[in-house]
Amino acid sequence: LDNFEQVLAAAPRVAELLAAAPRLKVLVTSRAALRLQGEHEFQVPPLALPPKVESGKLRVESPTTADSSGPSTLNPQLSTLTQYAAVQLFIQRARAVRGDFVVTNENAPAVAEICHRLDGLPLAIELAAARIRLLPPQAMLARLESRLKLLTGGGRDLPARQQTLRGTIAWSYDLLEEGEKRLFRRLAVFVGGCTLEAAGAVCDADGDLGADLLDGLESLIGKSLLRQEEGADEPRFWMLETIREYGRECLAAEEEADLARRHLRYYVALAEEAEAEWAGARQLAWFRRLDRELDNARAALAWAVEKGAALDGLRLAGALWWFWRTRSYDAEALGRLTELLALPEARARTAARAKAMAAAGLLAFFLDDFAAARSLSEESLAIGREVDEPLSIAM
């Protein structure tokens, strides 16, 4: 029984068949479980991917011995690269439309990165490979910022929902209940996943989700629109980037702005809670947590700069500066603080500005820009004295 998600209400009929014919076995493909007694679920994971491309090189390891031997950094080794199922599929489908296509030392990193950016999803890889008629891998990779626009043109003998990647994801989305759709869209605001606490604070802050949060998360996981991180002390949920892009498309402008503001404020509160623990016994645990939330913090700060949310942006950046410094993100941190401090709304002489300028001054000092460090620190000190902000004065 294929694509059973279309007729889930018929699941009791399958149970009746099994009860009437004890030797019968039923193999079902579905985006959602049937929830019948005796049902055994087998997840179909994405295709195996090569290790990440770094600085133009591939970290190559054998798929069969990766866990035991560990990765090594080498120039692209094509025989090893093509052992990965995702790359094999790309090559196979590329040669179907262009018989002379070969993977070379020049295009191998791009092929591997394309497979990564498409999350190892077979349909996405097939649609990308079909573009090889027009775009070499390096040019295709540059256009994958908008995956859903690029990945069209599936075979005419396929169902309509499989002729574009957007159509395939839309098929799953349209089968969701309204509360599940709302949760799916809202979860797309997170970059690199979120905790259960974050999902509740951002996606259901006003109690307007229209679905129980836990039930909704379980349903989205069961329908392969959301994934749960294995082995984490605290449950963490994330979307494949291809699916997340569709979720962002589904957000109305007003809903997206409100959601992004909640997202920013949640991470302001989280960063300030972590800051209070910098010198405490839980410092290491907080640093590890912020490592996991770094992409979310970056996204929140980028939105704050884009939309002029200066006060919240300054608070977040000011709370994170020592984490950035410890993790050697000095230049990134100073760049983001400089952008925030330049916003018109950030020019008021407030405690948040004083603290952010003190942090920027210290970061400039660590980067050997002593003139900027002196200028920033002197202004921070002056504002700190005006508003009686002892932390900025001390810094």
Q: Is the pLDDT of residue 214 over 90?
A: yes
Q: Is the pLDDT of residue 153 over 60?
A: no
Q: How does residue 166 score in pLDDT terms, banded at 50, 70 and 90?
A: confident
What is the mean pLDDT of the segment spanning 132-151? 80
Alpha-carbon torsion 148, 149, 151, 153, what sign? positive
pLDDT score, position 175: 83
pLDDT score, position 15: 95
At 19-38, the pLDDT tens digits run 999 899 999 998 888 989 88
At 65-86, the pLDDT tens digits run 333 333 333 344 666 787 899 9
List the structure tokens of 84: 């990965």
Of 46-55, 201-210, 236-245, 353-362, the poorest mean pLDDT is in 46-55
The residue that leads in pLDDT, 383 or 168, is 383
At 12-23, the pLDDT tens digits run 999 999 999 989
String of DSSP letters for 317-379: HHHHHHHHHHTT-HHHHHHHHHHHHTSGGG-S--HHHHHHHHHHHHHHHHTT-HHHHHHHHHH
pLDDT score, position 77: 60
pLDDT score, position 173: 87
Q: At what angle do helices 196-203 and 253-275 cross, to 10 degrees?
A: 130
CA trace torsion 138, 144, 148, 153 (10° rounding): 0
Which pTM was predicted?
Answer: 0.78
pLDDT score, position 55: 42
Backbone dihedral angles phi then psi of residue 193, each to the nearest 5 degrees: 95, 180
Percent of the chain with pLDDT over 70: 87
Give the closest residue to 126 by CA, choosing from 105, 104, 155, 159.
Answer: 155
Q: Is the pLDDT of residue 61 over 50?
A: no
Q: How many C-beta neighbours within 10 Å does residue 49 have?
A: 17
pLDDT score, position 69: 37
Mean per-residue pLDDT of the chain: 86
pLDDT score, position 159: 58
pLDDT score, position 73: 39
With vertex at residue 178, the alpha carbon angle to CA 177 and CA 181, rounded to the nearest 5 degrees, is 90
pLDDT score, position 154: 53
pLDDT score, position 151: 65
Where does residue 29 rank: exposed (0-12), middle (13-18), buried (19+ CB within 10 A)?
exposed
CA 189 to chain centre: 9
At 266-283, the pLDDT tens digits run 999 999 999 988 878 888
What is residue 395's three-state secondary structure? Answer: coil
Give CA–CA dist 232/79, Å, rounded.
34
The residue assigned the tokens 């000092």 is 365
Q: Is the pLDDT of residue 390 over 70?
A: yes
Percent of the chain with pLDDT over 90: 50
